[in-house]
Structure 1
Amino acid sequence: MKQRLLQQVGRSARLRVLNELKRTQGLCVADLAERIGMSYMGAKGICLDLEKRGLLDTWRQPQKIGRPHLLYRLTQRAQDLFPTESNSLTIDTLEAARKLYGPTAPDKLLLLVFQKKAEEYLSKLKGETPAERAKWLARLRDYDGYMSECETDEQGVVRIVEHHSPILDILRKFPLVAKLEGDMFQRLVGTLVERAETSVSGLYSATFRLL
């Protein structure tokens, strides 16, 4: 499925459009063109092409004054282009463990997996302060396919925002994963972390706010 979709997407400019839209809840053509360094007509043409392929759709964002803005966003079908670490076999294995070893077996296995992942991150993490470690952690998570960014607002609050989860199917099936992620982030950055998750039109986003 992924290979067929990638063949349809083709040139790198299309991939840049998809990656940029993945990090948002939708963009108008003008904003998208500015972000990827392309002409308005060039970006518009790519959006129309991807819309025909079923990878983008549009919605109108109301404005306080004037006409609504027409925004392009990814469809659910486009999610198959992005990396996943899990599959049905993983979930079947966790469910089989529940039947064989009791109701807490999947949780214990997931805990071990996250402990191992935390150790892997710790071996690569740099920085003396929580904010510095958060920046490094965002880089590591981005490399792992979570499309992570580290942001600092005007009040100095640091957040790691993730626009994709390669293990989203496991996260949905086993809600404990959300807590394990939050606990892992706290351990890695060295301060309390508040995890919040949003899903708009099927587009996943998780925010880890340093407290």
Structure 2
Amino acid sequence: MKNGKYKGSHWETRREILGKLKMRGALPSSTMAEELGISSMAVRQHLQDLQNEGDVLSSDVSGGKGRPTKYWELTDHASRHFTDSHRDLILDLLENMKHSLGPEGMDRLLEKRGEGQIETYKARVDPLTSLLAKVEGLARIRSEEGYMAEVQADGDDICYLIENHCPICAAAESCAGLCATELEVFRKTLGDEVKVERTEYLLNDSRRCVYRIRPSP
């Protein structure tokens, strides 16, 4: 996550709030206050400041009896606080490459990039034993690359690789082949004995990308 224009502990708290909303989606201020170890009033003040700057918005959610609870979530404007991998330069390069190489050339280029990723990922994931350990290893690599990845287990056989941020989102919007290649990279990294499915997709209006991973039938 980028440091932005703010410095000091005040901004550090804001960064933590932004990070929680990015990782978890909409949350009430009370939950953030408890997890940050500060007062609800302090969290609400930070949220109000972030709202004034266009980074968050709130909505009232009814839980049945009593007053609705205010939930806070990030706006698209908040993406400025997270790594965007030099958006303008990447888009310009992609457009020139597509023009120069044509569709088949771009496919070959993406395939070559994928091969390099698979080699790098497998070198770190292959030594791990269980499927969960391998997926957690893959999540660590992806987090290092800026994807804010985490893993959730569902029983003994199923786990989910969750990527809460896409540092190449603008490039992916311009070149859908990047996402198709990414899915194939995960499949080849984890091996033929594993099935990988994308169940949530940022470019299909989800707030994140989620991959369901389980042993092949």
Equivalent-residue separation in structure 2 for 1:204 and 1:197 (angstroms) = 8
What is the TM-score when the length of structure 1 is the normalising length?
0.86
Range with bigger deviation, 108-117 or 25-34: 108-117
Once superposed, what is the RMSD of the aligned Cα atoms?
2.4
The 5 A counterparts of 1:165-184 are: 165-184=166-185
C-alpha contact 1:25 1:203 (8 A) present in aligned 2: no
- Which whole-Å CA distance do the structure 2 matches of 1:58 and 1:8 have between them? 25
Deviation at 1:115, TM superposition (A): 1.9
1:19 matched to 2:19: yes
Residue deviations 1:54-82 (CA, integer Å, cap 9, x gap): 21111223435544321111111110110
* Aligned match of 1:108: 108
Q: Which moves more between the two structures, 71-80 or 189-198?
A: 189-198
Q: Which segments of 5 or more consecutive residues in structure 1 lack a partner in the other structure?
A: none
Is 1:187 paired with 2:188?
yes
TM-score scaled by structure 2?
0.84
Task: Return the alpha-carbon distance in structure 2 between the equivalents of residues 44 and 65 of structure 1.
Answer: 23
Give per-residue Cα distances to partners, 1:13-52, cap 9 Å, x unaligned.
1111110011122100111112222222221221112112
Once the two structures are TM-superposed, the CA of residue 156 in structure 1 deviates from its matched residue by 4.5
Counterparts of residues 12-161 of structure 1 (less than 5 Å): 12-125=12-125, 126-154=127-155, 156-161=157-162
Aligned amino acid, residue 200 of structure 2: E
> 2:24 is paired with a residue of what secondary structure?
coil
3-state SS of the aligned residue for 1:145?
A: coil
Counterpart CA distance in 1 for 2:147 and 2:128 is: 21
Gaps of 5+ in 2: none
